[in-house]
């Protein structure tokens, strides 16, 4: 009688990459969504977990404000976000986002998200900085874009003025040259304002159907 012994090798863990925003701006009294997602080479596990911590500005200590595990979300019921925190993510789609309501100035700080997708549990948490203002400041990119727009507008205006001046100068030179000519005048010119006030008489060109106007 022979026996078969089967050995089950533990599944090898791979790295997990977690993503959040870099910095978020919001107004006092508004709501803001803090997004958190992850990349893993494996299918989303039923044991996927998400954790959020918060470190206020000026503090070295972080506090836990949210945890999702076993299909259930556990919210902070005693800390600074009591009754203001809501889970709006979708774990099956690797989304662990939270919503913070009715923001206050004291909410300024760093929020850190950590995620696990067993057996992929090794990964670096990702952090997002929240800045709460009475009025959202104009970002540097907007200012830079406005400056570039003004500079380009001035360049276009200069080019238009340049070509307009060239056109006016050329028109003036042409007008003076026409007035100084004595002799034959093309018939086409005689229909323009350049020939007004001049005594002209038509004269055909031999061998052609063209006639010209000649000063009388």
Q: How many CB atoms lie within 10 A of CB 145?
A: 11
Residues 145 and 120 grouped into a single domain:
no
Q: What is the mean pLDDT of residues 28-43?
A: 94
Looking at 133, 153, 188, the residue that finishes a domain is 133
The three state secondary structure string of 30-69 is CCEEECEEEECCCCCCCCCEEEEEEEECCCCCCEEEEEEE
Domain check: are 24 and 79 in the same one?
A: yes
Residue 200, in any domain of the structure: no
> Per residue in 28-44, is it b (16+ CB within 10 Å) or e — as a string?
eeeebebbbbbebeeee
pTM for this one?
0.59
Q: Can you give the CATH number for the domain in which 40 is found?
A: 2.60.40.10
How does pLDDT run across 152-203, given as a tens digit for each residue? Answer: 888 898 989 988 888 888 877 777 666 655 444 454 444 445 455 555 556 5
* 124 and 142 assigned to the same domain: no
Report the distance separating Cα 61 and Cα 112, nearest Å: 12
Residues 79 and 100 in one domain: yes
Whether 69 and 148 share a structural domain: no
Q: What is the pLDDT of residue 13?
A: 62
On whether both 27 and 124 belong to a single domain, the answer is yes
- Which pair of structure tokens corresponds to residue 75? 């919210």
**Domain match, 24 and 103 both:** yes
Structurally, the chain folds into a number of domains equal to 2
Whole-number Å distance between alpha carbons of 214 and 216: 6
């Amino acid at each position: 009688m022979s026996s078969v012994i089967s050995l089950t090798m533990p599944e090898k863990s791979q790295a997990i990459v977690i993503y959040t925003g870099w910095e978020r701006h919001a107004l006092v009294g508004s709501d803001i969504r803090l997004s958190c997602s992850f990349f893993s080479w494996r299918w989303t596990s039923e044991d996927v977990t998400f954790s959020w911590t918060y470190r206020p500005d000026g503090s070295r200590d972080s506090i836990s404000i949210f945890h999702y595990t076993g299909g259930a979300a556990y919210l902070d019921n005693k800390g600074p976000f009591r009754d203001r925190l809501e889970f709006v993510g979708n774990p099956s789609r690797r989304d662990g986002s939270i919503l913070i309501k009715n923001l206050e100035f004291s909410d300024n700080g760093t929020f850190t998200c950590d995620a696990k997708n067993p057996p992929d549990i090794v990964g670096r948490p990702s952090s997002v900085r929240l800045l709460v203002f009475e009025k959202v400041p104009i970002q540097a990119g907007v200012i830079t874009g406005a400056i570039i727009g003004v500079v380009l507008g001035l360049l276009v205006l200069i080019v238009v003025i340049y070509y307009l001046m060239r056109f006016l100068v050329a028109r003036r030179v042409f007008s003076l040259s026409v007035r100084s000519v004595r002799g034959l005048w093309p018939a086409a010119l005689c229909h323009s304002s350049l020939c007004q006030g001049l005594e002209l008489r038509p004269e055909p060109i031999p061998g052609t159907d063209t006639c010209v106007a000649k000063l009388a």
